[in-house]
Structures are given as structure tokens and as C-alpha cells.
Structure 1
């Protein structure tokens, strides 16, 4: 999501000093929306929103998930086919046939109606995980007719599925929460973002068929009220379902997602399950599985990686602490799918 300035990182690093080599959570990496790729060279590569870059994306590398090296800016918006002009968010990199493909969202410069939010999803390619990445085309992958962000991919049986979030922008939705907020005199309407899935062409040049709605905020008030905290806390007249990440365990597809204001303390993560990559998905009764705990707030937009031996699942996400202030930093915590099929994140944790 939105780029948070690099303002407090230097102060944070100065406080850590010699401890930087053994630090647990948070990592001294000023990313929102962190994504980790484990390459066959035995290295992890992390990409994210923000950091010490301008209009593009930076990357870090590590062999142990603890000590990270900044690899510099790996994507620049003004590359040969660059189509975005600002708001470069949520990059994810996938390796396919020896090439590295970066999927990301940005504000599309083709904007005849001068929309404030004209976000679309594009894909850039490189021969190396550290770039430089060049857009495959001088345009986004496709235009569904509304702003979209937060790309995530799934590959199966020769098919590629793209998951994304439709933005809240100009998307008011009637619900019991919207009625409640209107009755209280807080907001006349509540806008929502929804998660969709669609199949992509093999060359990533376009979508195949129509997007399928997979997840949205609850219509009724009740057990899923955690997804409405941004409204019930009177922060903003929006409810988010975004930052989706899909994986498969056995025959079950798990889709993790983030809800609430990405810029606030109530950002949290839940999950839903399905027997098919395009749903229908059912939200878990035990949601949220990651949320603020007093020491850490704003926990969300996660990805998943694994320990080098492939045995331990790890949840990679951003959050904030009292020391970091409003600066988002990266956290990595253990996670698992237990014998009952329930997803558990052992976090957020804060370590020295």
C-alpha cells in the first residue's frame, strides 16, 4: 500500500547498533507489503513497498532470514516500457523458466478521466532476482474498469491465476455496518475493497475470462466484526479486503488476506479456505490469525516463505512498534496449519 517515508530508519538503526546482526523482530527493513522469494541459489530475496528508493522498488538478500543485504533499487518506473507514474506498491517476484517476473501495482499514466486512484497491475521481467526489471509491455496487464492493487499469483496444471484487490475508491456498498455508521451520523456511505481472482494468459499479457469475486467484507454485523474496526473506531469510511496470499496444503487452498485501514493500528490478517483456486472461499471462524498485541500494531499484508530445509512455514508481514513510530518494518514469525486444518500464526513477536 501507500509508500511510507524512510524517516525513522536511521534512528532505529542507531539504537540497534551492534545488535543488528542478531536482531529478531522487527527486522531493520523499512518495507510495507513484504514479499520473500527463495531462489535455488540458496538465497532469500525480499521486495516491498517503500524503503530508500524513488518511484520503484528495492530489494534485500539473505541466506538466513536474519542478516540482510540491501541490493539497491531493482525496478525504476522510467524503464523502457514503464507505464506507472507513482504509488508503486506491493511487488511480488516469481521465477519461471529461468526468468524473474515482478508483479506490482502503480498509478497508470493513461488517465483521461483524471481519477485520483487509477491503480493497475503490471509485470516486469529480469534475468536476475536483483534486477534490473523491465516492464514486459508499456501498459498494465489488463483493465477491469476499476482501480486494482496487490497482485498475488498461483501456478497449477499449466495455468496461472492472478489474485488482486479492487480498491475502495468510488465503491460504496450497503451493509449493516454502513447502516450503523449512517445512523450514528458518522458516514453517509462506506466504501469497500474486494478480492478477485482471474486466470492469466501464459505470457502474462492479459486476463482470460472475467474476474471472479472471492472475498469481501461481511454484510452483516457479528462474528466478523474485526474486519470493520476501521469504521467502528471512526477512523475512516472504508472497509478493506486486500493483500491476499494463496497457498495449498493437501487438497485445500488457503487464502490469507488483510482487513482494516493499512495506515492504522487495527490492520490484521485472516484467512479463508476452498477446494478450488477460484473458490468459493469460506472464511475461518478463528479469524483474525494475526493482529495487534499492544507491543506491535498495524500487522498485515503478509506473504509466506519457508526455512531453508522447507519444513517450517514462516509468515512475513509488516508492522509498527513504539520505537519505529509510524514507520513500517518487516516481521517474520512461525506459522503452521495444524492437524485440524486450522492456520495458526505464532505472532506478532518482538525480540531483542
Structure 2
């Protein structure tokens, strides 16, 4: 048997170029499409591309009080690279025993001068008043996108005096960098017509809100320059066109909170675009809108076509909880993608990653999703060929 096998192998090797058509027992398949969700169970997904490779970071994904990453050549097929950040590194400042397991959330990684900087939020161990939500934003650095990432200081970037999450950094063309973040709803009740309605209906006694702020970063990311500027907040008036979709978690009586979080900023044709998420991340109404400005710290004006990404169950689909997005470009740079987490009827409460094409034309963002049907591979991606 061994000798026969050897002869067969030699025969195949010699005639490889002309015999493939004669070996139907080992056919090849060409996969030129993909479908959402991707095979990654993450919340708050963020994609970095460096050296022709994509790296995805997010909340969860099997991380043990830290963060893991996945890599891909085409933004569709991903392989795990293991844990890249550990809370107990030599400069770790977080509290892994705090609520939500230390709340290691929403990592984003940026490449600057051949170094990789990880921005994230977690529970700060300095907590003299024992706040349940004591989130702050930290920065860790590594020589590779796969880590290991080490905190640049034994403390958060800065302390605004209230809990903050969802760091996003924008690098402007003038060399300045800006940190955007969300002030948490925790202990932040706000009066509005929505709050009045909630009391009148007997739903809730008060409505807490989260707001997005922006502030310039020091060049070495060791702190901030100046005072944070309020960028976005939920509408005060019910007559505001944004009030309906941004208040669905309240009007659906899910929770007494209105969120403005998960922001991501980019610039195109001299206009600054800030995409953001509203409503309860754990509910069906999590959705994405955007606002535009002429300066990096605003003022920002919300778009009239909001929300641009939301559940599709009312149209016969199976996707809910679409939010906390980032953006990425196809391998050839021609196509722009919205990267977000969602839930489907099949995945249940598990957050999974989806990518859908997006367009920016004449100051308007359009996201072509959510989708679960087969889509063309991102432009420039090599078609995968595999044997049985």
C-alpha cells in the first residue's frame, strides 16, 4: 500500500499541470461573496489596517480582562491572534474586580510613527466614593498590532470628574489629534420634554443621558489640551426631528436613559463627519446617526436622514441592535465600509460583527445595510480558492 501511494503521488506531481481536470474527488471552489454576520463575536468593533493586513479589536471576543485581536487580508475572513492587552501589565490602572469584570470596553488602535496605540475604557481603581460606574479612558502602546500593549502611564489619560467611555481619536491634516468620548448616563439626569413625557406616562421619574465631548490631545497622548467641548447630546424638544429615534429606549420603556455614544469621526472634502449611536446597546433599537461640522470641535449639526443604520425586522429582516460602528476601507481603498455590531434572530443576545458598504456624497452618508444576504467581496480582495 505504501509503495502504491508513493507511485500515485509521483504521478500527480509530474502531471499536475494537465491532470487537475481528471481529479473530481478534490474539486476547487471559488468564493467571491460574503454574508453578514462575520465569524467574529465582538461588541464595539474597530478595524486597523497596517502593512496590508487588517486587525480587528472589540469588546469581548474571549478576552480575559483585556482585549484580543483578529487578523485578515480581505476584511471578510478572520483568524484569531490571541490576547494583546492584559489589565495587569506593569502600568495597569484599572480594577478588574469592579462591576462588569472591570469593564474593558471599546478598544481602538492607531498607528503613529511605527508604534501602535490602544485607546480603551475601563473601571478606574481610584474610586474613593465607590461609584458603580467609574469608567475612564486609558492608552497603551506596543511595537506590533498584536501587542503586547503596555499602558503608557499608571493612570487614565485624564479625569473629567465623571465616568467616560468609547474613546475615538481623529488625526487632522494640520497634525493635531482630538479625543472624542461619551460622558456616561450614570448620575446624569437631564430635564427635557422627553423626561416630562416619561413622568406624565408613569414610565420613569427621571431620564439620564450620555453626551459626546471632544478635546485636543497632547502629541504624546499623555493628557489633553484645554477643556472638553460638548459635541452632541439627545434633543431637548419632542418637536426636534431627532427626538423620535434617539428616544426609542425610553418610549419603548426599556430603560430610563438616552445615549449618545460610540462616536467615530472622519473628514471628507473639508467637512467633519461624526457618526454616533443612540439608544440602549442591549436592546433592539440601538441605531446609528451622524452629524457634520466645519471644525473638529464643532458646532456639529445632526443630519436630516438619521438614523442611517437601524434594525430591519420591521421590513422582514432578522437584524436588530445595530450600533457602535467604525469605518474601514476595502483593500484597494475604493470602497468605504461601516463596521458595526448587531444581533440576529440566529445569534440571539450575542453581539456579532457586520460590515456593509457606505457612501458619502454631497455631504450625506448612506449605509447600505444592515444586510444578511450575499455581497461581493470588498474591492481589491483576492478571491479565496480552497480545496475540499
TM-score band, normalised by the shorter chain?
over 0.9
Whether the 8 Å contact between 1:257 and 1:301 is mirrored in structure 2 is yes
Residues 121, 151 of structure 1: 8 Å contact kept = yes
Is the partner of 1:278 in helix, strand or coil? Answer: coil
User: Does residue 1:229 correspond to 2:217, yes or no?
Assistant: no
Partners of 2:305 and 2:275 lie apart in 1 by 13
SS of 2:328 mapped into structure 1: strand
Offset of residue 20 of structure 1: 11
2:177 corresponds in structure 1 to 160
Structure 1 residues 102-113: aligned runs within 5 Å: 102-113=118-129
Residue 62 (structure 2) aligned to one of 49, 52, 60: 52
Q: In structure 2, what is the equivalent of residue 15 of structure 1?
A: none
SS at match of 1:84: coil
CA spacing shift, 1:238–1:19, aligned 2, 3 Å: farther
Q: Which residue of 1 aligns with 2:217?
A: 200
Write out aligned runs for 1:211-222 (5 A). Answer: 211-222=228-239
Matched residue SS, 2:103 = strand
- Structure 2 CA distance for partners of 1:19 and 1:219, relative to 1, 3 Å: farther
| Partner residue, 1:151 | 167
CA distance in 1, matches of 2:268, 2:34: 31
Q: Whole-Å Cα distance in 1 between the matches of residues 53 and 171 of structure 2?
A: 22
Superposed CA RMSD in Å reads 1.4
Is contact 1:259-1:267 (8 Å) kept?
A: yes
Residue of structure 1 aligned with 2:72, choices 57, 62, 69: 62
Alpha-carbon separation, structure 2, partners of 1:21 and 1:325: 28
Distance 1:280 1:260 in 2: 22
Which among 197, 208, 213 is matched to residue 191 of structure 1? 208
Between Structure 1 and Structure 2, how many residues are aligned? 333
- Name the residue aligned to 2:365: 343
User: Computing the radius of gyration over CA atoms, which structure comes out larger, 1 or 2?
Assistant: 2
Q: How far did 1:150 drift?
A: 0.2
The one-character-per-residue Cα deviations of 1:231-259 (angstroms, maximum 9, x if unpaired) are: 00000000000000000110100000000
Could you say what secondary structure the match of 1:186 adopts? coil
Q: Structure 1 residue 275 and structure 2 residue 298: aligned?
A: no
Q: TM-score, length-normalised on structure 2?
A: 0.84
Shift of 1:158: 2.1
Structure 1 unaligned blocks of 5 or more: 1-17
Residue aligning to 1:115 = 131
- The Cα of 1:298 is off from its aligned counterpart by 0.1
Q: Which runs of 5 or more residues in structure 2 are unaligned?
A: 1-28, 96-101, 375-388
User: Segments of 4+ in structure 1 off by > 6 A?
Assistant: 18-22
